[in-house]
Amino acid sequence: MQVQYSVQRAEVCPSSLDVIERAAEKAEKSGLKTSVGGSAYGSNGVHIGPSEIIGVAVAVLVLVVTVGSLLAAGMSLLPALLGVAVGLAGLLALTPAFSISSTAITLALMLGLAVGIDYSLFILTRHRQQLARGTDPQESIALANGTAGSAVVFAGSTVIIALAALSVIGIPFLTVMGLGAAGAVLVAVLAAITLLPALAGFAGTRLTPKPGSKEAQRATDPDGSAGRTTLGARWVKTVVAKPLLTVLAGAGILVALALPATDLRLALPDNGSAPVTSTERKAYDTVNDKFGPGFNGPLLVLTETDKGAGAHAGAQAAQKLRNLKGVKTVLSPTPTHDPAQTVIQVIPKTGPDSTRTGQLVRDIRAAALDIRETTGAMIAVTGTTAVNIDVSNRLSDSLLPFIAIVVGLSLILLTMVFRSLVVPLKATVGFLLSVAASLGLVGALFQWGWLADTLGLAHTGPVVSFLPIILTGVLFGLAMDYEVFLVSGMREEWVHTGMARRSVTDGARHSVRVVTAAALIMFTVFAGFFPLDDALIKPIAFALAVGVAIDAFAVRLTLVPAVLTLAGRHAWWLPAWLGRALPDLDVEGTRLQTTPQTQHMEPEPAR
């Protein structure tokens, strides 16, 4: 039995669905077996469960271990939590005016929390290092905000631009999703560079690492002359010792992981992706088994004539449609309030996410001219299945131009930041490898079903159609973030020493620990959303989690030092004419580093 609502899917009230479910329960008591499903069912809210809480708890644990202080860890977490609260409040306040899906809200929550903690960590780590060296607290937080904070603004801006660019694709729900997530990241950046310095001002010297602690030793021994090296620094030294082998092995592994992405199929999920215990999934499976997969995704064909003889023309059009390949059955035309129009339900032989159903939609549209000439009726294909197919096709067509824009932006920005050609090329290729490997793992798990039972996947099949674009946009910003924090230290060492290999190892020592912690925090926050029974959020959370891990550990902390070592002095070369043409972006605020040393100098006596 079909129930047709007079409003859009997003406008269907939960109470209306409750009425249908109560009617189904009464039928069950009468001896009928019932299941309720359909497009009206979906994710109707943001659910925060144990897995998300565990993810945040692990992130806090990583914070405590990294900074070595509960006060400092709490101070990194508080701006992120308040930023997320403000961002979500603003997004929810817009729901009366705009149709905002629960997926958009969950994505904003996930990104806002992850980047908020990371950005606060970067600034606070710099602040505590300076406190350990004896810098005045107020001067230190100002300097940290001008150096690490500038890099946070740069990295956050790239994420915001990439997410906001989703609006140019022209798909309303994706526009809302991109702008909502961009807004959450914007609030996270503002909280990190405004609220965190204020909190640090209240804390004063209490954030100073205790004398003799590991944090104090690392801050006062930046060149490692005392012989204290971290695991990350030792890893970079190992990579630098065998750079060619590292590049070949690392790139080879990432290319192998990316292979499943060549077979990636994109679609929007339906009730077939819902949890197996849900009523909508039971209804979907029952219809699929008893009537055929096509009944879960009928196509609606609207016919319209110029002369008003809609019923006759509709019947002729229906007969034409029955002859198309891939059609299981065509229901009799249903008249509308307009006598010139009819609606025909076309039931495909295949399910909504099948490539053959997509081909049937194209075949119907291709037959429109012939139907118009023989019946006098114009036809148009619509319905949830056809709309989802069209959206997926548009997203697929937009992916390569979007990646091209992101790659171009990456090359331009990093060339200006590092005054180099090798660094931006290496960073961009590494970013593309990260995206490809992440999509490969997504395809292997969600489409091929590798480890699906182990990870509790209820359904395997095509991947969410907007996932590649979301992943590209978010990972671009995060990759630039890690690149700036890691390579800026190497460039600074190169400027000071002129020694290529040493600048890689010494520069990495300054930032490898905080980049590792930031990546672990991102991973745990994203992974915390993976257990959600949401067919849209689950693959996005998985893709972002593995994407961050691959980009941080396999690319930034492994391939980047190896490539820079192989390039030697050429890694920092920029043609003179290009150097004069490009603006010099001091993203890390290195020019501010001398300020604390000059502000308190006694003036020379007059002679």
**pLDDT for res 436:** 96
Q: Which residues contact 199 (CB under 8 A, 6 or more apart)?
A: 75, 78, 79
Is it the case that residue 487 has pLDDT exceeding 50? Answer: yes
How would residue 32 be classed by pLDDT, with cut points 50, 70 and 90? confident
Separation CA 159–CA 161 (nearest Å) = 6
pLDDT tens per residue across span 117-133: 989 998 998 898 888 88
Q: Taking a C-beta distance cutoff of 8 angstroms, is the pair 366, 284 a contact?
A: no
Residue 503: half-sphere exposure toward Cβ, Cα within 13 Å: 25
DSSP string, 327-368: EEEEPPPEE-SSTTEEEEEEEESS-TT-HHHHHHHHHHHHTH
Helix (H, G, I), strand (E, B) or coil at 300: strand
Separation CA 163–CA 156 (nearest Å) = 11
pLDDT tens per residue across span 368-395: 999 999 888 899 999 889 998 998 888 8
Average of pLDDT values for 537-563? 93
How would residue 11 be classed by pLDDT, with cut points 50, 70 and 90? low
How would residue 549 be classed by pLDDT, with cut points 50, 70 and 90? very high
pLDDT tens per residue across span 243-266: 999 999 999 999 999 999 998 888
CATH 1.20.1640.10 fits 50-270+389-591, yes or no: yes
Helix (H, G, I), strand (E, B) or coil at 390: helix
**pLDDT for res 224:** 54
Is it the case that residue 46 has pLDDT exceeding 60? Answer: no
Residue % of the chain over a pLDDT of 70: 89
Separation CA 539–CA 265 (nearest Å) = 13
**pLDDT for res 247:** 95
**Mean pLDDT computed over every residue of the chain:** 84
Is it the case that residue 181 has pLDDT exceeding 70? Answer: yes
Tokens of 147: 């150096």
**pLDDT for res 15:** 72
CA distances from 404 to 258, 334, 396, 400, 470 (A): 19, 46, 14, 6, 14
**pLDDT for res 170:** 80
Q: 3.30.1490.20, 3.30.70.1320, 3.30.70.2860, 3.50.50.60: which CATH number matches 299-382?
A: 3.30.70.1320
Give the single-character DSSP code of 209: P
How would residue 190 be classed by pLDDT, with cut points 50, 70 and 90? very high
In this structure, what are the phi and psi dihedrals at residue 32, rounded to the nearest 5 degrees? -90, 150
Separation CA 137–CA 127 (nearest Å) = 8
How would residue 600 be classed by pLDDT, with cut points 50, 70 and 90? very low
Q: Taking a C-beta distance cutoff of 8 angstroms, is the pair 190, 90 a contact?
A: no
Q: Taking a C-beta distance cutoff of 8 angstroms, is the pair 76, 63 a contact?
A: yes
The alpha helices in 443-573, defined as continuous H runs, are: 452-455, 467-497, 500-527, 537-549, 560-567
Separation CA 93–CA 89 (nearest Å) = 6
Strands 341-348 and 377-382: unpaired
The residue among 302 and 337 whose pLDDT is bigger is 302
Least confident of 32-36, 110-114, 151-155, 392-396: 32-36
Residue % of the chain over a pLDDT of 90: 31
Separation CA 425–CA 427 (nearest Å) = 5
Separation CA 93–CA 100 (nearest Å) = 10
The residues facing 382 across adjacent strands are 300
**pLDDT for res 597:** 44
Is it the case that residue 299 has pLDDT exceeding 80? Answer: yes
End-to-end CA distance of the chain: 100
CA distances from 248 to 237, 437, 548 (A): 17, 15, 21
Sequence ranges of the domains in the chain: 50-270+389-591, 299-382
**pLDDT for res 605:** 44
The residues facing 348 across adjacent strands are 327
Separation CA 429–CA 277 (nearest Å) = 43
How would residue 196 be classed by pLDDT, with cut points 50, 70 and 90? very high
How would residue 38 be classed by pLDDT, with cut points 50, 70 and 90? low
Q: Which residues contact 42 (CB under 8 A, 6 or more apart)?
A: 9, 102
Separation CA 545–CA 529 (nearest Å) = 10
Residue whose pair of structure tokens reads 């958009």 in the numeric block: 104
pTM of the model: 0.85
Separation CA 143–CA 145 (nearest Å) = 5
Give the single-character DSSP code of 293: G
* Burial readout 486-519 (b: 16 or more C-beta within 10 A, e: otherwise): bbbbbbbbbeeeeebeebbbbbbbbbbbbbbbbb
Tokens of 225: 């002359």
Q: Taking a C-beta distance cutoff of 8 angstroms, is the pair 150, 123 a contact?
A: no
The residue among 498 and 141 whose pLDDT is bigger is 141
- How remote is the C-alpha of 315 from its chain's centroid? 47
Is it the case that residue 27 has pLDDT exceeding 80? Answer: no
Burial class (CB in 10 A: 0-12, 13-18, 19+), 133: middle
**pLDDT for res 45:** 53
Provide the 10 A C-beta neighbour count for residue 225.
7
The residue among 30 and 605 whose pLDDT is bigger is 30
pLDDT tens per residue across span 417-451: 888 899 999 999 999 999 999 999 999 999 888 88
**pLDDT for res 7:** 63
Is it the case that residue 222 has pLDDT exceeding 60? Answer: no
The reply to whether domains 50-270+389-591 and 299-382 share a CATH topology is no
Q: Taking a C-beta distance cutoff of 8 angstroms, is the pair 459, 533 a contact?
A: no
Q: Helices (H), strands (E): how many in the chain?
A: 23, 7
Provide the 10 A C-beta neighbour count for residue 89.
10
